[in-house]
């Protein structure tokens, strides 16, 4: 039965070569587009994770605090827990660091005084955003604190960008997937309609619905498989061109690749199944 179904599926491909190639190409493009947007999302996630590793809380202190008061604030912050290190930068050290830039040094000189506050750079053990938010909000209420800053806005903005890109990718992928499904349905339905008399004779001599369906289902699976292979192949080609120019770019993890490939095969199967229901009695 499988041998017969494979032969018939092969013959069907030959009969409607152009229609099948169009369906495969449409499916491969939809997989490629979803893959490209997934690739962008994966690499933006990497950027966010790298940024989170570098994020630290910067605590600016009020002017004219005593050594004892600065030490007390440092101890209170450390006693909050989840603190890896606290680095103190005095007003003079902050001025020295910024004065390395000639333009900034010129403006500071024009002001006639050191406008920079002393600060603590607080590094956390657990750098999750909720931890950063929690500790930063608590530090704000300490006596002697002028301002607390950390990279929450940058991380939030990147998360918004990732969500936007993924939404566009999913939307375009679904739209093109529907087009691919329609083309596969059209192709298989065209082939089935041309063979209605042959199918009717097979039913009269006792062929089961499953036996008649099998070649068309295999044809849809093959179209889906080839579309998935072409789409993922094109995606890898784009990735290869990118890594020639940019270092550190990640490719899609295996679960996403398997999902894209499996989705293409599933579209082919569903398209075939839908198309033959009109012509074959169950």
Q: Is 274 exposed, middle or buried (0-12, 13-18, 19+ CB in 10 A)?
A: middle
CATH 3.30.70.3040 in the chain, residue ranges: 56-150
- Residue range 24-37: mean pLDDT, rounded: 81
124 has which bridge partners?
Answer: 83
Selected residue with higher pLDDT from 6 and 275? 275
Q: Which of 13-17, 122-126, 141-145, 277-281 has the highest mean pLDDT?
A: 141-145
> Please, which pLDDT band fits residue 194 given cuts at 50, 70 and 90?
low
What confidence tier does 90 reach under pLDDT thresholds 50, 70, 90? confident
Higher model confidence: residue 13 or residue 28?
A: 28
172-183 mean pLDDT: 72
pLDDT at 240 over 70: yes
Sign for the CA dihedral angle at 15, 5, 271, 191 comes to positive
Instruction: Looking at 209-250, list the stretches that DSSP marks H as alpha helix, in order from N- to C-terminal side.
Output: 209-245
Mean pLDDT of 21-27: 78
Which architecture characterizes domain 56-150 according to CATH? 2-Layer Sandwich (3.30)
- d(Cα 273, Cα 235) in Å, to the nearest integer? 28
Which of 127-136, 151-160, 177-186 holds the top average pLDDT? Answer: 127-136
pLDDT band with cut points at 50, 70 and 90 for residue 282: very low
Instruction: Write the pLDDT tens digit of every residue in 111-138.
Output: 666 677 888 988 888 777 777 788 888 8
- Position 2 confidence tier, pLDDT thresholds 50, 70, 90: low
Q: Which span out of 161-175, 176-190, 256-270 was modeled with the highest average pLDDT?
A: 256-270
Q: Is the pLDDT of residue 64 over 60?
A: yes
Q: What is the 3-state composition of the chain as percent helix, strand, coil, each rounded to the nearest 5?
A: 75, 10, 20
Q: What pTM was estimated for this model as a whole? A: 0.64
Of all residues in the chain, the percent with pLDDT exceeding 90 is 2
pLDDT at residue 191 in the model: 64
Q: Say whether pLDDT at 1 is over 60.
A: no
Q: What is the mean pLDDT of the chain?
A: 77
Collect all residues with Cβ–Cβ distance below 8 Å to 216 and sequence separation of at least 6: 9, 12, 188, 191, 192, 272, 275, 276
Alpha-carbon dihedral sign for residues 235, 238, 240, 243: negative
pLDDT confidence of residue 32: 85
Burial pattern 186-212, b for ≥16 Cβ within 10 A else e, equals: bbbbebbeebeeebeeeeeeeeeeeeb
In this predicted structure, the answer to whether residue 62 has a pLDDT above a threshold of 80 is yes
Mean pLDDT for the stretch of residues 192-217: 71
Which positions ≥6 away from 76 have C-beta within 8 Å? 142
Q: Which of 130-134, 142-146, 190-194, 220-224 has maximum average pLDDT? A: 142-146
**Residue 204: is its pLDDT beyond 60?**
yes
pLDDT digits (tens, 9 = 90+) for 93-107: 877 776 666 666 566
């Amino acid at each position: 039965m499988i041998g017969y179904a494979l032969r018939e599926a092969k013959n069907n491909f030959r009969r409607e070569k152009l229609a099948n190639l169009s369906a495969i190409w449409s499916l491969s493009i939809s997989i490629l587009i979803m893959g490209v947007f997934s690739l962008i999302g994966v690499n933006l996630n990497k950027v966010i994770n790298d940024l989170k590793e570098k994020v630290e809380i910067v605590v600016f202190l009020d002017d004219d605090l005593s050594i004892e008061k600065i030490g007390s604030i440092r101890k209170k912050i450390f006693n909050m827990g989840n603190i890896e290190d606290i680095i103190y930068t005095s007003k003079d050290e902050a001025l020295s660091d910024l004065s390395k830039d000639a333009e900034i040094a010129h403006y500071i000189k024009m002001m006639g005084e050191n406008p920079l506050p002393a600060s603590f750079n607080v590094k956390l053990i657990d750098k999750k955003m909720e931890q950063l938010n929690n500790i930063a909000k608590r530090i704000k209420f300490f006596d002697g604190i002028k301002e607390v800053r950390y990279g929450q806005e940058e991380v939030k903005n990147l998360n918004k960008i990732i969500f936007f890109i993924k939404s566009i990718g999913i939307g375009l992928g679904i739209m093109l997937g529907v087009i691919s499904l329609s083309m596969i349905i059209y192709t298989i339905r065209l082939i089935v309609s041309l063979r209605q008399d042959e199918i009717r004779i097979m039913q009269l001599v006792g062929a089961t619905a499953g036996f008649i369906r099998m070649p068309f289902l295999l044809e849809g699976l093959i179209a889906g498989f080839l579309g998935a292979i072409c789409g993922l192949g094109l995606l890898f080609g784009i990735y290869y061109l990118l890594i020639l120019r940019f270092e550190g770019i990640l490719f899609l993890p295996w679960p996403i690749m398997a999902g894209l490939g499996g989705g293409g095969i599933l579209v082919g199967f569903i398209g075939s199944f839908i198309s033959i229901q009109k012509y074959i009695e169950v």
